[in-house]
Amino acid sequence: MMHERRSRSLYRSGVEQIIENSSLRDGLDQDEAQQLVDWATAQAKTAAYATADFDDDEEAADYVDQRVRTVTRLMRLTTLLTTQRQQYEPEDVADLLGELAEKRADFYGQRTAVSHTLPDTYQIRQAPSNQAAFAQLFDYVTNPTLSISVIDEEE
């Protein structure tokens, strides 16, 4: 019972970090922002309740904090690439996508070759709308089995 109470408290704390930081979704439309928040809060819940068997409260809090920090970084990168992708040079978009791929791999416990699962830099930069870019990025971030082939912009 004590661990369940701790899990609920850690979940609430994680959700607060996600909800209170509006910069994680600045520039997204309401539906996109809600999708991102729903996914992120579900991840906070999963992390918090995964600590039910942890005996050490500090270890449990550190685990949830690390997971929530990774989730918020994934949110920030998704938002940035959605709303400001056309303001960056292709190599900067590629760097941000590389960071997104690394954080995603860490989050899902994958240590595969990152370059084989990156969203296409050209497709992201040239997406006809923020909604199109968001859809591709959100699918990539939230689906651990999704693999998108890299097509070099120079081809």
Residue 105 domain-assigned? yes
pLDDT digit string (tens) for the chain, length 155 residues: 568 899 999 999 999 999 999 999 999 999 999 999 999 999 999 999 999 999 999 999 999 999 999 999 999 999 999 999 989 988 899 889 889 988 998 899 876 544 444 567 778 888 899 999 999 999 989 988 776 544 334 43
Residue at 128 is within a domain: yes
Residue 22 lies in a domain: yes
Considering the entire predicted model, what is its pTM? 0.87
* Contacting residues for 1 by C-beta, under 8 A, at least 6 apart: none
Residues 6 or more apart whose CB falls under 8 angstroms from that of 122 comprise 90, 151, 153
Dist CA 108 CA 25 (whole Å): 22
- 154 occurs within a structural domain: no
In a domain, 15, yes or no: yes
Check residue 115 and report its DSSP letter: G
- The answer to whether residue 34 is domain-embedded is yes
Per the structure block, which two tokens stand in for 9?
A: 């408290």
> Where does the chain show beta strands of DSSP type E?
none
| Cβ 60 vs Cβ 68: under 8 Å | no
In a domain, 150, yes or no: no
Considering its fold, how many domains does the chain have in total?
Answer: 1
Q: Which domain holds residue 27?
A: 2-142
Side-chain-side CA neighbours of 14 within 13 Å: the count stands at 32
| Residue at 98 is within a domain | yes
Can you tell me the distance from the alpha carbon of 118 to that of 149, in angstroms, rounded to the nearest whole number?
7
Pair 104, 74: CB distance under 8 Å: yes
